[in-house]
A = this chain, B = another copy of it.
Amino acid sequence: MTDFFKGISKIAYEGPETTNEFAFRHYNADEVVMGKTLKDHLRFSCAYWHSFAWPGGDPFGGQTFERPWFGETMALAKLKADFAFEMFDILGVPYFCFHDADVRPEGTNFAENTRNLEEIVDYFAQKMDDTGMKLLWGTANLFSNRRFMAGAATNPDPDVFAYSAATIKTCMDATIKLGGENYVLWGGREGYETLLNTDMGRERKQAGRMLEMVVDYKHKTGFKGAILIEPKPQEPTKHQYDYDVATVYGFLKDFGLENEVQVNIEQGHAILAGHTFEHELATARELGIFGSIDMNRNDYQSGWDTDQFPNNVPEMALAFYEVLRAGGFTTGGTNFDAKLRRQSLDPEDLILAHVGGMDACAAGLKAAAAMIEDGALEEARSARYSGWDTKRAQNLLVSDLEGVEQFVRDNDINPQPRSGRQERLENLVNSYL
């Protein structure tokens, strides 16, 4: 045990009545719900960037965190890994996620960056062997360095496209080597600051081509994981091309990739796009592109990405209800793309923020499972649409406007509305919480 987490033991489940803040109240990893353990349902993952690479800055202030691993050397990168794996162990999460830039020092060029990455990947591989930790997904940071300021795939400079493609390859290689279960693309700079200097058509084609290359490389390497796009409407750019799930779907259809690529949906990004998290989850499910989730919570009243740890159990229940309706995760999982508030300086804060988030998710999932198992919600939904199951209704769908008009005239169709019962259903949801 390092000094940093000194005195913090592995977090155990103690049940809802515990007064020990260093214990799980709801996340009992081995508890079986709907035939699966909570561990297998939730597939929790920690994000390397927020917990280990972010210094606590915001647009009006710099670093607040002081971490023994901060710095740009390979030795510190390995020290960072030591601390990270110690935290994973304390929390009992089975997965983690990372960008290349989170885990290796920035080199002077592509070759050095790649060497640095490969060295740390070997270091990770050893630790993963030792601990059983798994990689939920890897990704490339194509947005922080100034070379990416005008985009990666969508950059007006083809050299940046090339640099980005090469970097993605190295990150896919790293992901494959570490047995990652998905590879994620978040296009933080794939958008524009002003339409005035932007060729949207070109940029869109560049983005499509890059995605095709990624899919081709997946097939060439035999990578079995899923390729995931993470939608976000804006920030850092004024407009990001992967605005939301529906927008990504249109993009995938345009390039014929809707069966090759899925989405990684973040609660905060959904909020910023004007949607609820459950809306985005349901949309992905209905469009057949549901992949994984980035779990956090965005302040509804702050117009930027607040990336807070989730804590509202009723909201978690609605989200996991949609996950369960989608059949649960296959390659995906629940990745905490959440960061400490910059005033939460202590090692205890880092641990307990995750504990609280894991508990909120577990409580939400259990409530969601109860809703599924009880079936009353789905029964109400089916009943509302039951008219569509009649032959008369199915005939309508294969008719044409003239045929339908005749039907309306012949039967003097004059439909009367029926209650949507929203409040009753909301009460019903609350009864499972």
Tell me if B195 and A279 are in contact (CB < 8 A). yes
Contact A301 B283 (CB under 8 A): no
Whether a CB of chain B sits under 8 angstroms from the CB of A332 is no
Contact of A59 among B235, B408, B429 (CB under 8 A): B235
Q: How many copies of the chain does the oligomer comprise?
A: 4
Q: Which of A140-177 contact B (CB under 8 A)?
A: 143-150, 155-163, 165-166, 168-170, 172
Q: Which residues of B contact A312 (CB under 8 A)?
A: 312, 314-315
Q: Which of B148, B157, B253 contacts A387 (CB 8 A)?
A: B157
**B341 in contact with A110 (CB, 8 Å):** no
CB distance from A327 to the nearest CB of B (A): 14
A150–B420 touching, CB < 8 Å:
yes
Which DSSP category, helix, strand, loop or mixed, fits chain A's interface? Answer: helix
Given the known interface contacts A213-B400, A393-B158, A412-B109, the answer about A344 and B233 at a Cβ–Cβ threshold of 8 Å is no
Docked pose: A427 CA to B426 CA in angstroms: 25
Q: Bound state CA distance, A156 and B408, in angstroms?
A: 17
In the assembled complex, how far is the CB of residue A50 from the closest CB belonging to chain B, in whole angstroms?
A: 12
19 contacts between A and B (CB under 8 A): A61-B144, A61-B189, A64-B417, A109-B414, A149-B417, A150-B420, A165-B396, A166-B405, A166-B407, A169-B404, A194-B422, A195-B318, A213-B401, A234-B274, A249-B254, A304-B304, A343-B417, A343-B422, A352-B423
Is A415 in the interface zone, CB < 8 Å from B? Answer: yes
CA distance A432 to B218 in the complex (A): 48
